[in-house]
Each structure stands twice: as structure tokens, then as C-alpha cells.
């Protein structure tokens, strides 16, 4: 899976392409956890618009959410994860993922465009910084 991680002011943007599976996503997550700003990031945008093939089992989506609950819990900031895709297979798996998240630690939602995702992130980021 070719992927690129771009560091932004308060978060990370992941651009994914080609064939993507659960192991690929967890590998990209591991790279993000090694990022120098990981403790201050408040969002991630995962852009699946250039993905050709997607392979994730239901149980892997559940497991990924459980792993993220633990990992994001270490940060102490509410983190927002925006998934960008219009593919039913990707949306379905990330709705499962979203349903298994601890929303006091990490929230996720699915969007059809990066601009819609950024709008949600912006609203969510400003709300979370007011409560801090």
C-alpha cells in the first residue's frame, strides 16, 4: 500500500492508494505513533479516495478501534479521526470501527470529501480546545 503521511498544524493527513488491508493501516498507525508531534495532534484525516482494493474483516475493524482506544488514551487529548471515502465497503468497516471507539478518548466519522472532513475537524478541534 503506498501511503503518505503529511504533518499539519494540529494533526496528520494520510493519503492511501492502491491495495490496502488491515496490516497496512496498522503499519501507517505505527508510523504516526512515532511522529514527533503525536502528543499534541488532535486529529487524523485518512484519505481513501485513491484506494483500488480494500480488505478489512469485521473483527479487524473492532480490534483496530480497541487498539486505538488504548493508544489515544495515552495522549490525554480528545482526538478526531476523519475517514474520507465514498466506497460502501470502506464506509461499512469504518462505521463498525466508529461504533467501537470510546468517544471520551477518540471520535471518528466518515466523509465524502477532504473539505467536509476538514470542516468537521475544525469544529471539533475548536470545541475540544475550549474544554481544555
> pTM for the full model?
0.90
For the chain, the average pLDDT equals 90
> How do residues 14-53 score in pLDDT, each as one tens digit?
999 999 999 999 999 988 888 777 777 899 999 999 999 9
Q: Taking residues 54-75, what's their average pLDDT? A: 94
Total structural domains within the chain: 1
**CATH code assigned at 60:** 3.30.750.24
C-alpha to C-alpha distance for 121 and 80, rounded to whole angstroms = 7
Is the sign of the CA dihedral 98, 99, 101, 106 positive or negative? Answer: positive
For the chain, helix (H) and strand (E) counts, in that order, are 4, 5
Q: Say how far residue 130 (Cα) sits from the centre of its chain.
A: 22
| Domain limits for position 51 | 3-131
Amino acid at each position: 500500500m503506498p501511503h503518505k503521511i503529511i504533518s499539519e498544524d494540529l494533526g496528520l493527513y494520510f493519503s492511501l492508494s492502491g491495495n490496502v488491508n488491515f496490516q497496512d493501516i496498522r503499519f501507517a498507525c505505527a508510523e504516526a505513533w512515532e511522529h514527533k508531534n503525536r502528543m499534541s495532534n488532535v486529529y487524523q484525516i485518512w484519505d481513501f479516495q485513491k484506494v483500488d482494493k480494500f480488505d478489512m474483516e469485521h473483527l479487524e475493524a473492532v480490534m483496530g478501534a480497541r487498539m486505538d482506544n488504548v493508544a489515544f488514551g495515552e495522549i490525554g487529548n480528545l482526538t478526531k479521526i476523519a475517514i474520507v471515502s465514498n466506497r460502501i465497503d470502506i464506509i461499512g468497516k469504518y462505521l463498525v470501527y466508529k461504533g467501537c471507539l470510546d468517544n471520551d478518548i477518540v471520535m471518528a466519522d466518515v466523509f465524502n470529501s477532504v473539505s467536509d472532513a476538514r470542516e468537521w475537524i475544525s469544529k471539533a478541534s475548536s470545541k475540544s480546545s475550549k474544554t481544555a
